[in-house]
Amino acid sequence: MKIFCLGMNYAEHNKELNTTLLKTEEPVIFLKADSCLLKGGKPFFIPDDLGRIDYEAEVVVRISRLGKSIPTRFAHRYYDAATLGIDFTARDLQRKLSHNGQPWDMAKSFDGSAAIGEWITTDKLPSLQFLPFHLDINGHTVQQAVTSDMLHGIDETIAYLSRTFTLKTGDLLFTGTPAGTAEVHINDHLEGWLGERKVLDFYCK
C-alpha cells in the first residue's frame, strides 16, 4: 500500500506557512510509509523527540482499482470511498529540512502520522469536487474548507500520479490541508466531518 500526500494545495494554508500563494505548476507530492497508518479510533501517541507536532486535516480518497496513465476525465473511476484524515507533521523539523533543501520524510513519515477515519463510499457522499469538511478539537472547529478550494483537484492529482506510479487497490491519497493547522497536545480530542457525517474520532496521548 502506498500513501500519497498532496502538499501546498490550499492557498490560505500556504499563506500561514509563509509560502507562495500562487498555484504550483504541478501537484506537490510526498509519500508516507505504511507504518504511518492510524485507524479504528486508536489514539495518536505524540512523539517526545520530534519537537512540535501539528495536525493537518485532509480529505482522503481510497484507490479501488489498478491504474496507470489515467486520463483526468476517467480518474473518478479509480476511487470508491473517502474519509477525513490527519497528516501529522513535525513542524519545526519540516522547516529545518526545507531550509536545508532536504526532503520532508523525517518530518512527515513517522509512525502513526497518517490517521484516517471511517470510509464513506462515494455514492453516499455529495460530489467530492464540492465537499465541505471540518475538524474540531476539544469541541471547537479549528479547520474547515470545501474541496473546490483545492489548487489541484482530486481527479487531476490522480491522473498526475498515475504517470509515474502504478496505482493499486488500497492505495490512499491525502489531498492537502486548508488553513488552521496548529500544534496538538496530550488529551486533545479530534473529531472530523465530511459534510454532515462524522467520520473521525480519536484522542492524542
Instruction: Take residue 48 and report the three cell numbers written for it.
Output: 517526545
Residue 99's pLDDT band (cuts 50, 70, 90): confident
Q: Give per-residue pLDDT as tens, 26-80.
A: 999 999 999 999 999 999 999 999 999 999 999 999 999 999 999 999 999 999 9
Q: Is the pLDDT reported for residue 19 higher than 60?
A: no
Instruction: Take residue 104 and report the three cell numbers written for it.
Output: 520532508
Q: Give per-residue pLDDT as tens, 100-120.
A: 999 889 999 999 999 999 999
The whole-number pLDDT of residue 49 equals 93
Report the candidate in 177, 196, 186, 197 with the shortest Cα–Cα distance to residue 55. Answer: 177
The whole-number pLDDT of residue 14 equals 60
Residue 131's pLDDT band (cuts 50, 70, 90): very high
The whole-number pLDDT of residue 11 equals 77
The whole-number pLDDT of residue 25 equals 83
Across residues 5-28, what is the average pLDDT? Answer: 74
The whole-number pLDDT of residue 13 equals 64
pTM over 0.85: yes
Report the candidate in 116, 146, 145 with the shortest Cα–Cα distance to residue 131. Answer: 146
The whole-number pLDDT of residue 87 equals 98
Cα 35 to Cα 126: distance, rounded to the nearest angstrom = 31
Cα 9 to Cα 13: distance, rounded to the nearest angstrom = 8
Q: Give per-residue pLDDT as tens, 144-195.
A: 999 999 999 999 999 999 999 999 999 999 999 999 999 999 999 999 999 9
Lowest mean pLDDT among 12-21, 66-75, 80-89: 12-21
Residue-wise burial string across 82-95, b where 16 or more C-beta atoms lie within 10 A, e elsewhere: bbbbbbbbbbebbb
Residue 201 pairs in a beta bridge with 191
